[in-house]
Structure 1
Amino acid sequence: MNILTNPLYRPLLEILRAARNGIVYGGKLRFSHALVISLLYRSGPLAPRLKQVLEATKNHAEVLASFAIIYKACCKIFAHEALLGPKNLPLIKFVAGSIGSWIVYSQHFDLFHSGITHQITLYCFSRVMIACGKMLLDQYLSCAQPKFRNYAGDAILYKDLTANQQKKLKSSVYNKSWKYFAILTWGLVMLIYDIQPQYLQSSLRHSMAYIYDVEMETWSNWREFLGF
């Protein structure tokens, strides 16, 4: 029987496939980002800059592939009947993700590039917070059944709204939440950058300096002003 179709090897193949996908995704993502940053914002000989791009690509791919291997392996192990069993899949995935992040992202073992693990974790954190807010809103609407007024001024329970009306209501709340979240985030980041910039992540701090700190710049002609 072919190894690829043999059920005995299926768990191992799934782990390897996840690692492969992590390498491909991390490589594509970091290479393009690092290449643009190197060409646009860094100076010096081209060869060392390209070496830095390849190094950053390798580090990013290593992080995603390592987490994928640990996470998938833990899922397979804990799903065994002698441990948590397949019925506890949500708990298994939480535990597996926690173990994987402890090894890869927490910087406890100092095995992976700290800047990359820091960036990826912060990226996920913002998405997790938004997702948690949406889940809490759904739970509140379903359990509390608040009343809303239609155009005629009549009070209607949430459960009595049509599916389309419920969708529009949720979208309206999401949009308002995002508005206040964006306002607070950018207000705070500009304040912190002004009073204590050393506490911001280095790439964010450098990009903000490049964009906003133009008070001392001088330009003798339009060519210099436009950067050509």
Structure 2
Amino acid sequence: MLDSITTFINNPEYHDILSIVKGFRNGAVYGAKIRLPHAFVMTFLFRTGSFKDKLYFIFDATKTHSANLAKFVTIYKTLMYLQRKMVGKEQNGHSFMAGLIGGYYVFGENNNVNQQLPVTRKAMDEPKHTFPIFAAVVWGIVMWLFRHDRDSLQPSLQASMQYLYLDSDYWNSIKNFLWHNK
């Protein structure tokens, strides 16, 4: 049975679809790996409330961040795949469009995870009806930069995006398809 699964996941005919699945997995894993320790430290250092409330907040922040990244990677990779299929090859604006749409749907909700620093630090007023458009344009630009001018992004962002969008295109066994990235 394991041989059948390995043969299936290594079939080039299914590679593009399976890279979307692995992208979802990488988004969920990376979101949890990044948010859990951050939420844990910040909650116990700066948040008041019962131990149970703090644990709930940590779990909720981690779940939200993990789900957001998993959804965004899935939408982005799916739209890149569909655009490539429709046109025959990847074109310059495809990454911007995929990032724009993913940013609108995933990061356009005005919540604590998405607004984070600028609003909480009062560096800017909380956007009302324009937040989804702002998120969409920012993510469209970021994804275009990642595909076409990667060196203009911070090295830590480049490494994160490498894991989410490019490393999810490679595997050769069920182990590094589901459990380990490489």
So what's the TM-score if we normalise by structure 2?
0.58
Unaligned ranges ≥5, structure 1: 108-112, 139-228
Query: Does the 8 Å CA contact 1:21/1:65 hold for their aligned counterparts?
Result: yes
C-alpha displacement of 1:117 = 2.1
C-alpha displacement of 1:43 = 2.6
Structure 1 distance, partners of 2:101, 2:87, is: 15
Query: Does the 8 Å CA contact 1:104/1:117 hold for their aligned counterparts?
Result: no
C-alpha displacement of 1:79 = 0.2
Structure 2 distance, partners of 1:4, 1:35, is: 36
Q: Which residue identity does 2:24 align to in structure 1?
A: A
Number of the residue aligned with 1:97: 99
For these two proteins, the number of residue pairs brought into alignment is: 120
Q: Which residue identity does 2:105 align to in structure 1?
A: I
Q: Which residue identity does 2:87 align to in structure 1?
A: L
C-alpha displacement of 1:51 = 1.2
State yes or no: 1:20 paired with 2:17.
no
Structure 2 distance, partners of 1:99, 1:10, is: 23
- Relative contact order, higher structure (CA 8 A, sep 6+): 2
Q: How does 1:55-204 map to 2 (within 5 A)?
A: 55-80=60-85, 83-88=86-91, 90-107=92-109, 114-119=111-116
State yes or no: 1:34 paired with 2:39.
yes
SS in 2 for 1:44: coil
Number of the residue aligned with 1:44: 49
SS in 1 for 2:87: coil
Change beyond 3 A, Cα 1:17–1:36 = same
Q: Which residue identity does 1:117 align to in structure 2?
A: N
Structure 2 distance, partners of 1:118, 1:42, is: 18
Identity of aligned residues (%): 32
Pairwise CA RMSD: 2.6
2:11 to 6, 17, 34: 6
Structure 2 distance, partners of 1:47, 1:22, is: 27
C-alpha displacement of 1:44 = 2.8
Unaligned ranges ≥5, structure 2: 118-134, 153-182
Task: Summarize deviations over 1:19-76 as a string: whole Å, max 9, x none.
Answer: 1111111111111111111111123321221111011100000100000000000000
